[in-house]
Amino acid sequence: MGRIKAGRLQEMAAQTKWIYGYAKRYWLAMIFYTALGLVGTVISLGASLVSRDLVNIITGHETGEVIKTFTMMIGLNIGTTVMNQISGYASSLISMRVDAEIKADIFEKILVTDWESLTAYHTGDLLTRWSSDASNISGGVLNFIPNMIIYIFRFISAFVVVICNDASFAVFAFLSMPVSLILSKTLMNRMVNNNKRSAEMGARMSGFNQEAFSNIQTIKAFDLISLYIGRLKQLQKEYISMRLEFQRMSMGTSLLMTTVALAVSYAAYGWGIYRVWSGAIDYGTMTLFLGLSSTLTNTLHNLTSLVPTAISLTTSAGRLMDIVEMPREDYSKDDEVIAFRERNRERGISLKIEDAAYAYHNGTRVFERASMEAHPHEIVALVGPSGEGKTTMLRLLLSLIPLKGGSSFVYGSAEDSVAMSPSTRKLFSYVPQGNTMFSGTIAQNMRNVKPDATDEEIIEVLKLACAWEFVEKLPDKINSKVGERGGGFSEGQAQRLSIARSLIRRSPILLMDEATSALDVATERRVLKNIMKDSYPRTVIVTTHRPTVLNICTRVYAIRQGECVVLGQEEIEQMTRDF
């Protein structure tokens, strides 16, 4: 009643329903796995019955049946072994496929989840939820229901065999049940808490490792090696302490259950000996009972162990539901945007934001009534102090974050326009701040955004981005390796490669967020002039702290007090002189 009032059972029911959404996809695999388990159980029971007959034949000196029965027992035992191996292989095969499919599905859902909502989670936490929790779900989807059916069938079939031979032995199968139920009730809340704590600690460890390895250069530069080693050791200490606490609880539970199991087994032995001495049963039946009493006891324990398994599954489901049930991005306008682009391929595409309003989750307002526009063959600049909203404006254009007021749209003519949404990202290329090259080769990075790009096209955009001048000197040229986050190249070189990657996509709108900050002024101007000399009708928007290139821009907006203000030529020149 306490758990019902606390909403725990309702929560578990919702999580179970969510898991069922995956489980129903794999009902054929579950039926196959269950069938293998049931067949294995039948063969195992058959082996027990033949073993009983063999003992009776030997003790009764019925030599004529020994070879036949012994052969049957060997055959059934081999059959049991083969079925176990087949079942294990099938389980591994199906489990790996289910795991891959579920992870791919959840990965896709995470990628289309609202970007602003995702930023509330550390990447290490997201990685742990996607890898560990998804694997837990995939294992449970395949095993939980089939194992429950198999265990129940195994218990009932063994119980029926015992009843048919000597009902008094059936009592021993239930001797440990009260202890199992009491432990299950007592440990349930602890299991829930332990699973949550373990998942949270795993996320902390993963996040720490991911962040540390990604920022080794910064750690070295600030001489933070001892600090981070100390933090790692502290995390490890907390992890070990938590695991030891879990282990102590597990040891206590295991010790109690083992003691109960031994007591039940020895009681069964004593009862079996008494029944044989009294002449109520023969030696073969006693051997059968002793084997089946162990089967019954172990099966009950297995059924009881499904409780913590269920708790673990629902805990993992809850952690994944937190992510995948966040608001999704709307890609329903994809076909409309594709048709819009085709209609305006020759003339190019303009964009416009009117009276835009936006505030962060913490209430900080960035824009009140911001308006701006940009057209093909223009370079439009956004300037302003750091933190005033330049990057936020680009995120609004990419629909990574939603407007809180106003409107934004792209258009080819006054009569042909489309409201900005996640679907309109197809019209954009983007060069973000920082080094965003992927590991692989230069050519692979280019083909990430245009899979069918030829070598000639790659070289062409490298020239436009002033990158070919250093790429052509590399031994492998465009097939040269790029390390993680552009490793092996300077910041300026990596920026030019990122610009080339954005150009090869041939998108009608190009956004460049401080994309030339690591370039010298002369190279920066060359890159921008090359982009504008290109005959492709491209609309370019750049954010910059440096006013040195503003005099080649068509229009310059300064972000001030939540608005976009067009700067005059005198103000631009003054900014250039003051720089």
60-72 per-position pLDDT tens digit: 645 556 666 667 7
Mean pLDDT of the region 511-523: 78
Question: Domains, the chain, ranges and CATH?
Answer: 14-324 (1.20.1560.10), 334-578 (3.40.50.300)
The confidence score (pLDDT) of residue 158 equals 81
Residue at 152: amino acid letter: I
Indicate the helix (H) or strand (E) that contains 416: strand 416-419
The confidence score (pLDDT) of residue 307 equals 72
Burial of 387 (0-12, 13-18, 19+ CB in 10 A): exposed
Query: CA triplet 191, 194, 200: central angle to 5 degrees?
Result: 140
Say which DSSP state 336 is in: H
Indicate the helix (H) or strand (E) that contains 558: strand 555-560
Nearest-CA neighbor of 466 among 429, 433, 503? 503
Cα–Cα distance measured from residue 214 to residue 3, given in angstroms and rounded to the nearest whole number: 43
Q: CA of 320: how far to CAs of 103, 189, 309, in Å?
A: 11, 20, 17
* Lookup: tokens for 43: 């063969």
Phi and psi at residue 389, to the nearest 5°: 125, 15
Mean pLDDT of the region 32-40: 81
Burial of 498 (0-12, 13-18, 19+ CB in 10 A): buried
Give the chain's mean pLDDT. 78
Does position 4 have pLDDT exceeding 60, yes or no?
no
Does position 26 have pLDDT exceeding 80, yes or no?
no
Does position 2 have pLDDT exceeding 60, yes or no?
no
Q: Does the pTM of the predicted model rise above 0.85?
A: no
Does position 396 have pLDDT exceeding 80, yes or no?
yes
Q: How confident is the model at residue 175 (pLDDT cuts 50, 70, 90)?
A: low
Q: Strand 481-482 vs strand 555-560: parallel, antiparallel, or unpaired?
A: unpaired
The confidence score (pLDDT) of residue 69 equals 67
Instruction: Give pLDDT tens digits for 231-281.
Output: 888 888 888 888 787 777 777 776 776 777 677 777 777 777 777 787 777
